[in-house]
Amino acid sequence: MDESNGLEGPRKIHRVVIVDDHPIMRKGVRHALALRPGFQVVGELGNLTDALEAIGRLQPDAVILDLVLGGRDGVDVVSEIRRVSGEIRILVYSMNPEELFALLALKSGANGYLMKSTGGFEELHCALERILGGGTYLSPHMATLASGGQLAGDMQNLTAREMQVFLRLGEGKTTSEIAHEMHLSVKTVFAHRDRLKEKLMVKSGAELVRRAIVHVLRQGGPSSGF
Per-residue pLDDT tens over the stretch 126-135: 999 999 999 9
Per-residue pLDDT tens over the stretch 111-129: 999 999 876 888 999 999 9
Ordered domains of the chain (ranges, CATH): 3-147 (3.40.50.2300), 153-218 (1.10.10.10)
Instruction: Label residue 14 exposed, middle or buried (CB < 10 Å: 0-12, 13-18, 19+).
Output: middle
The mean predicted confidence, pLDDT, of the chain is: 84
Pairing of strands 39-45, 14-19: parallel
Q: Which of 76, 224, 202, 145 is nearest to 65 (CA)?
A: 76
Higher pLDDT, 157 or 222: 157
Q: Residues 78-106: what's their mean pLDDT?
A: 88
**Cβ(75)–Cβ(83) below 8 Å:** no
The DSSP element (H or E) to which 144 belongs, if any, is helix 140-147
pTM metric for this prediction: 0.72
Q: Residues 191-218: what's their mean pLDDT?
A: 87
Per-residue pLDDT tens over the stretch 153-187: 567 678 878 888 998 998 889 999 999 988 899 99
C-alpha to C-alpha distance for 207 and 209, rounded to whole angstroms:
5
